[in-house]
Amino acid sequence: MGETIRLTSPLDGFVFNAYRAAPVDARRGGLVLVQEIFGVTAHIRDLADGFAADGYETIAPAFYDRRAPGFEAGYDADGVARGRALSEETPWDEVAADLQAAIDALAPPVFVVGYCWGGTAAWLAACRCAGLAASTVFYGRRIPELIAETPKVPIILHFGRTDPTIPPAMVEAIAAAHPDLPIHLYDAGHGFNSDRRADYNPDAARLARLRTLRLFALNGAGRGEL
């Protein structure tokens, strides 16, 4: 079980909440876990707890706190509409600053993982934030908005082959703009990592997680045996 902490944005001094899960054993590193459009939900908190069990001190910031404090939405049509609206109202410069606040709150090495909207934020962190060791991106649909920016740290990307929101042409465009970046494709749809969603694919989720942990291990995570 984690706790709620407070972070301060270097952009405007705004103080916002974050869920923090501490390692249950020896610490491998720090991890910023970036939400889907639905907010810091029970699913996001469970993911944070899972990474903490693997040795990562994990912080999941509440990126919508300026506009909707404590926001958590369901996966129904209303939840998607509300979450998407908030994501579109949240500018990337603000997200980058809030990411930096979370990174700065963790002792190195610090990694980032993001899902859906958070996948694009994880790309953003790799491009703009200081003090980051590596990043992993799950189905970042809005990466094309930031495709001209280049990650400064090791990064891997995960996409579902049957994701209707991220067609093959979009993945190909990312690959063409950044040919040296590892892109992993799975026989799955959008949100395949979430066991709360219809497109949950346990095999794809497990493999993507193993690849994520290996990326961290290869880039400074404490025990590094993966």
Catalytic site residue from 54, 65, 98, 163 = 163
The single residue of 65, 98, 116, 127 carrying the catalytic annotation is 116
Does residue 163 carry a catalytic annotation?
A: yes
Q: How many Å separate Cα 73 from the centre of its chain?
A: 17
Which residues, in sequence order, are CB contacts of 91 under 8 Å at separation 6+? none
1 pLDDT tier (thresholds 50, 70, 90) = confident
Give the Å distances, CA to CA, from 82 to 72, 122, 167.
Answer: 10, 21, 23
Q: What is the pTM of this model?
A: 0.96
Active-site residue flag, 190:
yes
- The pLDDT tens digits of the residues spanning 34-87 come to 999 999 999 999 999 999 999 999 999 999 999 999 999 999 999 999 999 999
Catalytic, out of 43, 127, 158, 190:
190
Residues 6+ apart with CB under 8 A from 165: 139, 141, 190
Pick among 3.40.50.10190, 3.30.360.10, 3.40.50.1820, 1.10.150.120: CATH of 3-218: 3.40.50.1820
Rounded Cα–Cα distance for residues 159 and 144 (Å): 14
